[in-house]
Structure 1
Amino acid sequence: MKKKLLKGLAVLGAACASMEVYNRITYAKVKKLENTLSGETGYHDTVFGKVFYTKKGFGPSLLLVHDTSVGSSSFLWRNNFEELANNFTVYAIDLPGFGRSEKRPLTYTSEVYTYVIKNFVDEVIGKKCSCISSSLSSAYAIQVEHDDPGTFDRIIAISPTGIFHKSDIPGSLGKVTTKAFNIPIVGSFVYNILSSKPSLSGFMKEKIYHNKDIASSYVVNHYANSAKQDGDLSKYAPASLIGGYLNQPISEALANLETPLYVIWGANSTTNPIDNLKTFLDVNPSLNYHVFENCGEYPQEEYAYDFNVKAIEFLSREL
């Protein structure tokens, strides 16, 4: 019995040692994340860490908030930033735990991000602005406007969540999953596999883009690099996402929202299917929306020109 136990411990120890070697090799290959947006850059201090942002343009202020998928950052707006900056003063941020922003060993929650978005508007932009947001971040923007009316002039929500999809608080399984990712060595090993180039490439081609060619090696490499930008600290926000801590219910906020809202969806979205648009219309029948055909999760990438035209038109419209 004792020999079997010792043998088991030896096997476990060898497995952990192998995983740690893999983790170290993986992190050693990570390069400093490139900022693909041209403009003035800076960091804003918040209680949840420094927030990286890029600013460019003149005119009314516009905030861009990326989604919370693994490896996401303001890179999401690379096909929109320049054109929008011709019409607005554009701020593109990396949320805490993502991109070039600070990452901390904590459980991130939707409250963290609604706080950061509101704080950034108040302390950096310094006045009411418009907002374009993606997926879960659209729920955060809508919730911010509900809690503090007048924060935003207008909101464009791309494939938003928060009615049924990604609206539940974390359950027991979600909590255990998040804690599992936070286990030293093993949790990092699992995260590094999840955020590897092959894994991200397969996910993007299967779940994100209708046009698979957009998931080029350049795009995949950027996401993989972003996902491991700060070593072990990079896993905490995605672990919180997987466990459900980033979910944000917005049924009440959407029903009572008076700020102009424009919802944009891809007809071929798979992680957040177009059928979920109906749940938004059930809550707010007067909702303005547009559906891009032959398009996945990111219309701002797959149909960048048309998206930019529609966004500028909506944001410039007389109230």
Structure 2
Amino acid sequence: MKKNGHRLLTLAALLGTAAGVIHIANRFIDATSQLKDMLEQLHSKTYEWRFGRIHYTKQGQGSPLLLIHDIMPGASGYEWNAVEKQLATEHTVYTIDLLGCGRSEKPDITYTNFVFAQLLCDFAKNVIKEETDIIASGFSGSFAIMAYRNNSDYFRKIMLVNPPSLSSLKQAPCEDNKLFKHIIELPIFGTLIYHMVSARESISSLFMEKMFYNPFHVTDTLVDTYYEAAHKGGSSAKYLYSSYIGKYLNISINNAVASSDACIYIVSGEKESCYALISEEYQKLNSSIEVAAIPEAKHLPHLENPELFLEQVSIFM
């Protein structure tokens, strides 16, 4: 009995020491990841929303255009860095950091598609204050579609850049998803997992393997900026990631796509996996949807091939 008690005390001490070391490592990562201050930007503004402060920029003159970035570790309005100045020559361009991303507040909540659709509606109503066109990247395309369904008075044309497949959006959280979400949200060990996922090396590999077609186009500045954004606000950044991995952002948008009378335009990187099949999914539901592919580009054509992307925007807008 004494030996068992001694072993338990030793194990508890080791676990406590390990937790302490991991906690210090987590704090160190949070602090050092922001030393380069890559996210500082002109035209910065803040919208006080019900769930937290929303960072955005406004520049240019003309018809309003709202740019919405994708959902991934380190995502922010910086995603539009290569095209927003050119777009601002003809539009009043609003570039938003979604709740839980970049320079916006990152509350400890379960993020859902409804939360982001409501954010877009409120932002259009209270900040833009007139009908706006939208360009939404990746998963955020589903937020734009649902925002239009919730209140079409605020939105006009919608451009979807490599939107998610309709079949993937139907996947509801299962028990494994819920468990993983809970693990990520643990104070010390969950934060460590998030830091591994959002490590600079992980972000660099993600861009080289999945985001860009040409890995030589992935710059240190790009990776450093995403790395900083992934850790802005400390460990609070993990809550959006846990909701995304847990599939809490998923919602079927089939009915919204089929019944939409908005002008919808899908732009994909030609090298993006399954882009043709995904575009076909949308067109089967709504034959008025137009599709274009940008050569020599993958998931983020507006970053990898901005000139050709701007050409497509000028055609659509």
**TM-score, normalised relative to structure 1:** 0.93
Could you say which residue in structure 1 is the equivalent of 2:128?
A: 125
Deviations 1:141-169 (A, max 9, x none): 11111221232110100011251123322
The match for 1:223 among 223, 226, 232 is: 226
Confirm or deny: 8 A CA contact 1:161 1:167 kept in the other structure: no
- 1:164-313 equivalences in 2 (<5 Å): 164-270=167-273, 273-313=275-315
- Give me the whole-angstrom Cα distance separating, in 2, the residues matched to 1:208 and 1:167: 23
Deviations 1:126-150 (A, max 9, x none): 0111000011111111111122123
- Structure 2: which amino acid aligns with 1:265? S
Could you say which residue in structure 1 is the equivalent of 2:48?
A: 45
Deviations 1:226-251 (A, max 9, x none): 00011111111111111111123210
Quote how far apart the aligned CAs of 1:2 are. 2.5
Could you say which residue in structure 1 is the equivalent of 2:13?
A: 10
- Give me the whole-angstrom Cα distance separating, in 2, the residues matched to 1:153 and 1:123: 17
- Give me the whole-angstrom Cα distance separating, in 2, the residues matched to 1:203 and 1:4: 43
Deviations 1:260-282 (A, max 9, x none): 01101112224x65432221122
The sequence identity of aligned pairs, in percent, is 28
- Give me the whole-angstrom Cα distance separating, in 2, the residues matched to 1:247 and 1:214: 31
Secondary structure of 2:29's counterpart equals helix
- Give me the whole-angstrom Cα distance separating, in 2, the residues matched to 1:113 and 1:162: 18
Quote how far apart the aligned CAs of 1:286 are. 2.9
The match for 1:28 among 11, 14, 31 is: 31
Structure 2 residues without counterparts, runs of 5 or longer: none
- Measured on the aligned residues, the alpha-carbon RMSD in Å equals 1.6
Deviations 1:274-310 (A, max 9, x none): 4322211222233201012332101111110111121
Match status 1:154 vs 2:157: yes
Quote how far apart the aligned CAs of 1:188 are. 0.7
- Give me the whole-angstrom Cα distance separating, in 2, the residues matched to 1:86 and 1:116: 26
Confirm or deny: 8 A CA contact 1:162 1:249 kept in the other structure: no
Confirm or deny: 8 A CA contact 1:268 1:274 kept in the other structure: no
Secondary structure of 1:223's counterpart equals helix
- Give me the whole-angstrom Cα distance separating, in 2, the residues matched to 1:214 and 1:109: 33
- Structure 2: which amino acid aligns with 1:120? F
Across the two proteins, how many residue pairs are aligned to each other?
313
- Give me the whole-angstrom Cα distance separating, in 2, the residues matched to 1:252 and 1:148: 15
Q: 1:9 to 1:264 in 2, by over 3 A?
A: same
Deviations 1:145-202 (A, max 9, x none): 1221232110100011251123322222111111111101111111111111011111
**TM-score, normalised relative to structure 2:** 0.94
- Give me the whole-angstrom Cα distance separating, in 2, the residues matched to 1:25 and 1:146: 44
- Give me the whole-angstrom Cα distance separating, in 2, the residues matched to 1:36 and 1:28: 16
Could you say which residue in structure 1 is the equivalent of 2:89?
A: 86
- Give me the whole-angstrom Cα distance separating, in 1, the residues matched to 2:19 and 2:297: 42
- 1:75-114 equivalences in 2 (<5 Å): 75-114=78-117
After superposing the two structures, state which structure 1 stretch, 106-115 or 143-152, moved more: 143-152
